[in-house]
Amino acid sequence: MANLEALLNDLANLDAQHDLEGLHRVREQIVSDFPQSDAAVEAMYKLGLDILFRRRDLNGAVAKFEEAAKRKHPFWSAAARTSLGLCFYHQKRTQRALLELRKVAYPEKPTQHSVTALVFLEQIYTTEGNRDEAKRIRKDRINQLEELIRQSRERGEPQERGFHLYNLGIALRDQGEEGRGRAVLEEAKALGPSGLGADLYRSVVEALAS
């Protein structure tokens, strides 16, 4: 049995080579040989993504996401549960989808995963015609984004802050608060491409021009 460090090194090399089948094989080995490790939870989640998007097996992906979500890892289990909720929605299991997404959306402290789950909840409620609930969810997302921005200021992380500012600006515009939304986007733009990264900076500039 290979040690975990060697398997993680194999993953890095296979990723650099874009060897998707090799990555799948090594992740399965990590889950099998080191089932209680944090690396196994990450591997389960990424196996789910591979099964869903490359192998086009929705039911197989659900099984992997459920397995990862049960492990309660603070990062990878939340990512898996978010993906699980979306899979349930595509299976027409709407109430189960909403339940799983709500488990992620309302932690004690907001996270990037909780904000993402709120985005999907809002989209589902909008699609299902429940605009009042969608609007309420958007307000919750705005509140969480404001808290994440405050935290990123304290930590001195401009790119993270810019990402949250961008999303907050878009959410405020969707809420009908055009002036406030524009001011938030201008704050993000002021961080510049060096602070935001080229792609995010471009998205901010395009949002301000629209």
First to last CA, the chain: 56
- Tens-place pLDDT, residues 162-180: 999 999 999 999 999 999 9
Q: Among 68, 24, 76, which Cα is nearest to 44's?
A: 68
As a whole number of angstroms, the distance between CA 94 and CA 88 comes to 7
Q: Which domains does the chain have, with CATH numbers?
A: 1-91 (1.25.40.10)
According to the model, what pLDDT value does residue 156 have?
87
> Could you report the per-residue pLDDT of 80-99, keeping only the tens digit for each?
999 999 999 999 999 999 99
Q: Is the per-residue pLDDT at 52 higher than 70?
A: yes
Would you list the DSSP string of 7-22?
A: HHHHHHHHHHTT-HHH
- Give the long-range contacts of residues 133-137, CB within 8 A, separation 24 or more: 135/175, 137/105
Output the pLDDT for position 1. Answer: 64
CA–CA separation, 162 and 195 (whole Å):
8
Spatial separation of the C-alpha atoms in residues 181 and 126, rounded to whole Å: 21
Model confidence at 72, pLDDT cuts 50, 70, 90, reads: confident
Query: How large a percentage of the chain has pLDDT more than 70?
Result: 100
How does DSSP assign 52-97, residue by residue? HHTS--HHHHHHHHHHHHHT--TTHHHHHHHHHHHHHHHTT-HHHH
